[in-house]
Chain A
Amino acid sequence: MRVFKRDMKLAFRATGQWLNPLLFFVIVVTLFPLGIGPGPNMLATIAPGVLWVSALLAMMLSLDALFANDFRDGTLEQMVLSGHPLTVVVIGKVMAHWVTSGLPLVILSPLLGLMMQLPEGAYLVLVGSLFLGTLSLSFIGAIGAALIVSVNQGGVLLSLLVLPLTVPVLIFGSGAVSAAGMGLEISAQLSVLFAIVFLAVSLAPLAIAGALRVGVAAGR
């Protein structure tokens, strides 16, 4: 919990950290109507996918810094050595990451949905699926961020490691939004998203903690 508060404080002092993913999200979504053409029918069809892919990329962008700064100034090593269960520390850090980068995307998404001509019935589902989805993306992505913590310039590597693992989230998330836009039943997709969230939140911290121990040992 203390780790969570500390990370939150750090994030709000450095405005860029929580503003950058948000701006990236907005800019990427804006590029699609410009690149594909502003026809409302076309936009409505691709809106769920575009919103979801952009959210995923924005999350990737902020993952890089999740452990890297703490690793560089030695805080991470202190956390590993502190004797507190590392999984709990990790959960604090990942939750802080999600609140600063995932949650703003969720809150802003209806506005962008409006700009993308998203069909009426899909807004609640968009917000709900992104809520669940970004949470699991934070946890899954943190595994990758922890694995490459001692690698310099690991950005591309991070995407290579994490993106294959995030594809189910993307498929079911955007699937739910598309289905809702067409007025179809979405409980199946949402159940899978819930399952992924529970799996990610309960198992990912173990993998993250293991990876961080390796990373810290390698960096010494």
Chain B
Amino acid sequence: MFQWIHRFGSAPFMYRFAGRLAPWLGALCLLSLVAGLYLGLVVAPADYEQGDSYRIIYIHVPAAWMSMFTYMVMAVSSAVFLIWRLKIADVVAEASAPIGAAFTAVALITGSFWGKPMWGTWWIWDARLTSELLLLFLYFGYMALRGSLDTPQSSAKAAAILAVVGVVNIPIIHFSVEWWNTLHQPATISKLDTPSMHISMLRPLLLMVLAFQLLYFYNLMIRVRTLILTREGRASWVAELDTKGPENA
């Protein structure tokens, strides 16, 4: 077990591992994305209350979900980095931040597209919306802190502390719709045993969630590779890559 973790901790191994995994993740992501979009936008029936505009759920919910999932990955790997000094955990955290910020932005933007026809407004100071916006600020703060410290070691540690501290916001976002009974509708698929959606609408949603999950890991692998190269630019194994060419890596 420890040997296994140790292997993942080594930059060259992780670089090759991520490189081998990325195309598979990308292909699977594309597959589920196409299937999910087809089932969601073409096959699934219109909602009796919200008509066709409910279909934005197939982008909105997965993005919102991933915005929190990505932060959790970031916070957990930051904690791992702080406790065990595992460098690769810091790489994962740094690589996740912009991806998570993008998911958060997508969730906010699609949410406002949904809000306009449903609630008659682009934006409302509702608990879920506001806390999601704060999550975006957290991502921005994390990236800004990383950018503003000079030495790589200190920026890594400081950013990790911030990521761990910021994790208090995640339960607030998650439970905000239940704690504050405001405009945003409660979670749609929290009860998997008796889903409140019809199966023809639920299936594409789950496919889209899978697709977004794969999209995240695909992006993560690519960014992890880039970051490893940037950080280890002077290591001998990187120089060898150069002579062999990327295909043989």
A89 at the interface (CB under 8 A from B): no
Measured between beta carbons, the chain B residues less than 8 angstroms from A148 are 145, 148, 158
Selected from B138, B140, B145, B154, the residue in CB contact (under 8 A) with A218 is B154
A residues in contact with B151, CB < 8 Å:
218
> In the docked arrangement, what's the CA distance between A163 and B141, Å?
10
Chain B contacts of A147 at CB under 8 A? 145, 158, 161-162
B137 within 8 A of A: yes
Cβ-closest chain B residue relative to A160: B141
For residues 168 through 220 of chain A, which have their beta carbon under 8 Å from a beta carbon of chain B?
168, 207, 210-211, 214-215, 217-218
Q: Which chain B residue lies CB-closest to A159?
A: B141
B109 interfacial by beta-carbon distance below 8 Å: no
B46 CB to nearest chain A CB (Å): 37
Contact call B150/A218, Cβ cutoff below 8 A: yes
B34 within 8 A of A: no
Question: Interface size of A by Cβ–Cβ distance < 8 Å?
Answer: 21
Find the A residue at minimum CB distance from B138.
A164
Q: Does A124 contact B (CB under 8 A)?
A: no
Residue B227 is within 8 A (CB to CB) of chain A in the complex: no
**Residues on the B chain within 8 Å of A214, using CB:** 154, 157-158, 161
A143 to B140, CA, bound (A): 17
Name B103-160 residues within 8 Å CB distance of A: 130-131, 134-135, 137-138, 140-141, 144-145, 148-151, 153-155, 157-158
Closest to A154 in B: B148
> Interface of chain B, helix or strand or loop or mixed?
helix
Summed over the interface, the residue pairs from A and B with CB atoms below 8 Å come to a total of 67
- What is the chain A residue whose CB lies nearest that of B156? A214
Q: Are B165 and A207 in contact, with the CB atoms below 8 A?
A: yes
**Contact call A160/B166, Cβ cutoff below 8 A:** no
**Chain B residues within an 8 Å CB radius of A165:** 165-166, 168-169
Q: Are B154 and A215 in contact (CB under 8 A)?
A: yes
- In the complex formed, the residue of A with least CB distance to B127 is A171
- B154 contacts A164, CB within 8 Å? no
Residue among B134, B138, B158, B162 making CB contact with A215, cutoff 8 Å: B158
Give the contacting residue for B164; candidates A207, A217, A218; CB below 8 A: A207
Question: A160-B137, A207-B164, A214-B158 provided; 7 other pairs, C-beta below 8 A?
Answer: A147-B162, A151-B148, A163-B137, A165-B166, A167-B134, A207-B161, A217-B154
List B residues at the A interface (Cβ < 8 Å): 82, 130-131, 134-135, 137-138, 140-141, 144-145, 148-151, 153-155, 157-158, 161-162, 164-166, 168-169, 172
- Give A residues with C-beta under 8 Å from B: 143, 147-148, 150-151, 154, 157, 160-161, 163-165, 167-168, 207, 210-211, 214-215, 217-218
